[in-house]
Structure 1
Amino acid sequence: MEGSHNAENIASILDATLSKWDIRSKCEAITTDNAQTMINAAAKLHIRHIPCFAHTLNLTMSTLASDKLRAIQRELNKPELKVIQEVPTRWNSAYHMLQRIVTMKTELTLALNECNRAPPGVNADEYLIIQETIQILEPF
């Protein structure tokens, strides 16, 4: 992206890209990190912004929360897994991130419910979207 990375320019590029692919009217939401410029860009486009769950979780989970997640995993006899964060330079990282969220659904929900400053958990509709997205990304 050339120029300033402000909300106006980001919104303009997103709008042009969505229009070029003829999917502007089909776009229900945009998922990004929690940067205010991305939130503002989505607002300018009148498209719902969904903060990346793994990114939010990564930003807010303290050592105490990580310990709580591991304890819950042990209690449920589940593997001690960590969330996977999407990495722009790894083309398949979004797929792996979403797979991990689904794999750890119960443990994440329980851990989030026990942490005071945790982000809101993923609701049932969002899990359906995640599962559909995994199916779409899987062949790639």
Structure 2
Amino acid sequence: MPGRHTAENLAATLNEAVDAWRMTGKVVACVHDNASNIVAANIPERVDWVSVACFAHTFQLAINDAFKLFVYKVISAAGKLVCHFNHSTIAWKALEGKQEQIQLPKHKLIQSCKTRWNSVFDMFERLLEQRWAVTAVLSDRTVTKLQDARILEIQGRILGNNGWS
């Protein structure tokens, strides 16, 4: 949509689309996220339908709020670890070698995405699957500097234990 995304402009664009599609009087509801501009665009003074906040989006916001507690620290640390392997050719090649050596599937690590709540699960599931190969690469000083390993090791920084659970 060209122009500013003000409530007035959004409402005008929605109404124009409804008119262009010859659906005036037929639209019952508009499902949208919780951004203040789209909520304000869908008030009765601007549109002829019911405003409905998207449940999935609202649920995602609630999950993100819950993650801001301790869980966010773990997610953030795991994300940095995955990012390291996904952006370092040396680390990725070493991981592939360790996967082959200990007969693990040659799977890439999965980066979580804030807007996809299940991606956090996918990231941790893959890290759990690959934990021994990841640990081996982090322990290999020909691949990972001690300083980098200390930053990337989740258990020492976040979990406070001696191994992956």
The two structures have a TM-score, normalised by structure 1, of 0.52
Instruction: Give structure 1 stretches of 5+ with no counterpart.
Output: 3-16, 19-26, 32-48, 129-140
Partner of 1:131: none
Distance in structure 2 (CA, Å) of the matches to 1:97 and 1:86? 6
Contact 1:83-1:101 at 8 Å conserved across structures: yes
1:109 aligned partner = 135
Per the TM alignment, residue 67 of structure 1 is displaced from its structure 2 partner at its CA by 0.3
CA distance in 1, matches of 2:124, 2:109: 9
Query: Which residue pairs with 1:98 in the alignment?
Result: 124
Structure 1 residues 74 and 51 mapped into 2: Cα distance closer, same or farther (>3 Å)? Answer: same
Matched, 1:75 2:107: no
Q: Is the 8 A contact 1:54 1:84 kept in 2?
A: no
* Partners of 1:64 and 1:30 in 2: CA distance: 29
* CA deviation after TM superposition for structure 1 residue 55, in Å: 1.7
Matched, 1:54 2:86: no
Amino acid at match of 1:120: L
Letter of the structure 2 residue corresponding to residue 66 of structure 1: W
* Whole-angstrom CA distance in 2 between matches of 1:92 and 1:51: 12
In the other structure, the counterpart of 1:136 is none
- Inter-partner Cα distance in structure 2 for 1:67 and 1:60: 12
**Aligned partner letter, 1:73:** Q
Distance 2:119 2:75 in 1: 16
CA distance in 1, matches of 2:105, 2:129: 10
Runs of 4+ in 1 over 3 A off after TM superposition: 124-128
Shift, 1:59, TM fit: 3.4
Distance 1:93 1:110 in 2: 25
Q: Match for 1:56: what amino acid? A: K
Match for residue 25 of structure 2? none
* Distance (Å, rounded) in 2 between the aligned partners of 1:101 and 1:70: 14
- Answer 1 or 2: higher relative contact order, Cα 8 Å, separation at least 6: 1
Q: Give ranges in structure 2 of 5+ residues lacking alignment.
A: 1-34, 37-64
Do 1:70 and 1:80's aligned partners in 2 also have CA atoms closer than 8 Å? Answer: yes
